[in-house]
Amino acid sequence: MTDESENEEINIQEMTTPELLELMQEDLYDGYADEVVEEVNEALARGMSPYDVLTQGLVAGMEVVGVDFRDGILFVPEVLMAAKAMKAGMEVLRPLLAETGAPTIGKMVIGTVKGDIHDIGKNLVVMMMEGAGFEVFNLGINNSVDDFLGAIAEHQPDILGMSALLTTTMPYMREVINALKAKGIRNDIIVLVGGAPLNEAFAEDIEADAYCRDAAVAVETAKKLIQIKRSKSRA
Ligand code: B1M
């Protein structure tokens, strides 16, 4: 999108904030991790909230990558470079999003389902949940039914979160939920699902408790459903 030599002449401190965010999106698209980190730091130094830098800079940049990937303008190697730049920027924001000092309000086990290696969005959910005071056990990518069941047995979470970014992997969520039912533990745990190809109807169909459009919705939904569950168990 940009020529690297152009970047060398750019003084980011002289840019307006919208220009800085636009450059961050372009550098993410081009996979320039070091530049993205500099721009994230500059945006924070200007007083932007970590959440705004995340959504208006990094997530917005990744959306353009997604469109061009779909349209055959970008290919896997370029998208991997963009993902690396996104992760570098997220690493700067991670401690800031997690530093609310909120007491632990619940436990969550989360992972991307079997056959799927997309983890950027799921990792964002982890960051936001931790920031909101949840203890999160992140199982990473490509998790089988047994991986989820094992982690549930080990950590006894209030919430199970599953992520899928492919239409071919999202049906696997149903298998995990069926396994919870077969073990007789489905009603002991709140199941939240998310990922770009999902929607509310799908979540309802597989009998998840809720579909979460994004990380902020995941936090809100988790808090709400945990409160409901606890008030029911007190009653
Ligand atoms: Co892939 N990929 N990819 N990819 N990739 C998509 C998903 C795709 C939509 C691109 C496209 O065609 N436009 C398409 C899927 C089409 C489909 O199934 N309908 C696709 C494809 C086809 C593929 C491959 C098959 C390509 C190939 O090999 N030919 C392959 C599959 C590999 C596999 O998994 N087996 C593949 C590979 C890759 C890379 C490895 C190159 C890379 C992943 C790197 C990584 O994650 N470490 C990659 C990327 C980066 C993408 C896109 C461009 C971006 C995904 C992303 O990170 N978005 C993506 C296009 C797109 O989604 N627009 C695409 C940013 C992220 C912040 O958003 O992940 O949606 P998202 O997460 C959001 C919400 O969805 C929600 O909250 C998050 C934060 O707000 N959320 C949850 C997500 N998980 C949640 C869990 C929850 C709650 C909320 O639990 C409670």
* Ligand 1 pocket check for 58: Cβ under 6 Å: no
Are 112 and 95 members of one domain?
no
Q: Choose one of 53, 68, 112, 118 to mutate for the ligand 1 pocket test, by most ligand atoms within 8 angstroms of C-beta.
A: 118
Q: Is the pLDDT of residue 85 over 50?
A: yes
Are 164 and 216 members of one domain?
yes
Whichever domain contains 69, its CATH number is: 1.10.1240.10
Last residue of a domain, one of 48, 78, 100: 100
Our count of domains for the chain comes to 2
Are 111 and 96 members of one domain?
no
Are 60 and 126 members of one domain?
no
The mean pLDDT of 111-139, rounded to a whole number, is: 92
Q: Is the pLDDT of residue 172 over 90?
A: yes
* Ligand 1 pocket check for 100: Cβ under 6 Å: no
Q: Choose one of 113, 123, 126, 165 to mutate for the ligand 1 pocket test, by most ligand atoms within 8 angstroms of C-beta.
A: 165
- Cα(235)–Cα(228) distance, rounded to whole angstroms? 11
- Residue 53's domain spans which residues? 2-100
Are 119 and 217 members of one domain?
yes
Are 184 and 84 members of one domain?
no
Q: Identify any residues that bridge with 1 across adjacent strands, giving them in sequence order.
A: none
Residue nearest (by alpha carbon) to ligand 1 atom 46: 118
- Cα(224)–Cα(159) distance, rounded to whole angstroms? 12
31 CA → ligand 1 middle, Å = 16
Strand order in the sheet with 134-138: 134-138, 106-112, 159-163, 190-194, 210-212
* Ligand 1 pocket check for 71: Cβ under 6 Å: no
Say if pTM beats, i.e. exceeds, 0.75.
yes
pLDDT in tens, 34-81: 999 999 999 999 999 998 999 999 989 988 998 898 899 999 899 989
